[in-house]
Homo-oligomer: A and B are copies of this chain.
Amino acid sequence: MNKNGKIYVVGIGPGKKADMTFKAYEAMEKSDVIVGYKTYTDLVKEYYPDKEIVSSSMMKEVDRCTDVLKMAKDGKNVALISSGDAGVYGMAGIMLEIADDKIEVEVIPGVTATNAAAAITGAPVMHDYVTISLSNLLTDWELIKKRLELAAQGDFVVSIYNPKSRGRVTQIEEAQKIMLKYKPKTTPVAIVRNAGRENEEYVVTTLEEMTKHEIDMLTIVIIGNTNTYVKNGKIITPRGYSKKYEY
């Protein structure tokens, strides 16, 4: 009879080894099999050329976790991977929902898409911020809109995930309109595509102009607060308000 294996839910960061943590890298190395959405397994397979890799298509998250649980019960150590941090719109929650107390599940944190995108464009997320996904697949659009409204009212920096997909193109424009009700139209905005991956690209623009740029499902959009400004091409959100510090 097999001893149970262990499940590592691994946040691989944006994708390159450089942005992985040592623990994430080693968890994949000591696993018998790496499981994930194909886009993510494609990002890591070059680092583990001899490893068994099982990739599945999007929307199959529940099946994927059921398979992972079965593998662990068959005695395999499994690395279930997500890009960014597995605990932020990733696989950690669903894996823990499906797991039972007989299998050890360890969540290994990673660099989020927001953090990766922010670093490239300067320091737009220095102060209180909100992370919102515009995907209405599992959340009603009315709640998403309410959250955008509240985030804008609170002058939070706003990081938007899943701004657009093939079948969903108007949400980012609605989000922009909601933001414009409370934030100045000159508010700096970073649009970052493929943050930390091949073909990384970004543009620094404004809340008013943002929808004139290409935005797709690989894009993160970061919208500043009222203190955010641009200097030498970098977006900077100061770490406080009210001129409480000087330099």
Measured CB to CB, the residues of A under 8 A from B are 11, 13, 17-23, 25-26, 62, 65-66, 85-90, 92-101, 105, 107-112, 115-116, 118-120, 122-133, 137-140, 143-144, 146-147, 150-151, 153-156, 231-232, 234, 236-242, 244-247
List, sorted by A's number, 28 A–B pairs whose CB atoms are closer than 8 Å: A18-B21, A18-B23, A18-B26, A19-B109, A20-B22, A85-B118, A85-B119, A86-B119, A86-B123, A87-B119, A87-B124, A88-B118, A88-B126, A90-B126, A95-B123, A96-B231, A97-B231, A98-B247, A101-B232, A127-B133, A127-B139, A128-B133, A128-B139, A129-B131, A139-B241, A140-B242, A143-B241, A150-B151
Q: How far is the CA of A18 from the CA of B122 in the complex (A)?
A: 26
Given A85-B115, A122-B107, A133-B128: A247 and B62 within 8 A (CB)?
yes
Q: How far is the CA of A122 from the CA of B95 in the complex (A)?
A: 10
Counting from the closest, the 4 A-B pairs by CB-CB distance are A138-B240, A93-B126, A92-B123, A93-B123
B128 contacts A132, CB within 8 Å? yes
| A93–chain B nearest beta-carbon distance, Å | 4
Given A13-B21, A92-B126: A109 and B119 within 8 A (CB)?
yes
Could you say which residues of chain B place their CB within 8 Å of the CB of A126?
A: 87-90, 92-93
Q: How far is the CA of A109 from the CA of B130 in the complex (A)?
A: 18
A27 and chain B: residue at smallest CB distance: B18
Q: How far is the CA of A84 from the CA of B244 in the complex (A)?
A: 24
A241 contacts B140, CB within 8 Å? yes
B156 contacts A130, CB within 8 Å? yes
B127 contacts A130, CB within 8 Å? no
Q: How far is the CA of A150 from the CA of B93 in the complex (A)?
A: 25
Could you say which residues of chain B place their CB within 8 Å of the CB of A236?
A: 93, 96-97
A107 and chain B: residue at smallest CB distance: B119
Could you say which residues of chain B place their CB within 8 Å of the CB of A111?
A: 21, 85, 109-111
A150 contacts B143, CB within 8 Å? no
Could you say which residues of chain B place their CB within 8 Å of the CB of A127?
A: 89, 133, 139
Given A11-B115, A115-B112: A21 and B23 within 8 A (CB)?
no
A120 and chain B: residue at smallest CB distance: B107
A115 contacts B122, CB within 8 Å? no
Given B65, B125, B130, which contacts A128 in the complex, CB threshold below 8 Å? B130
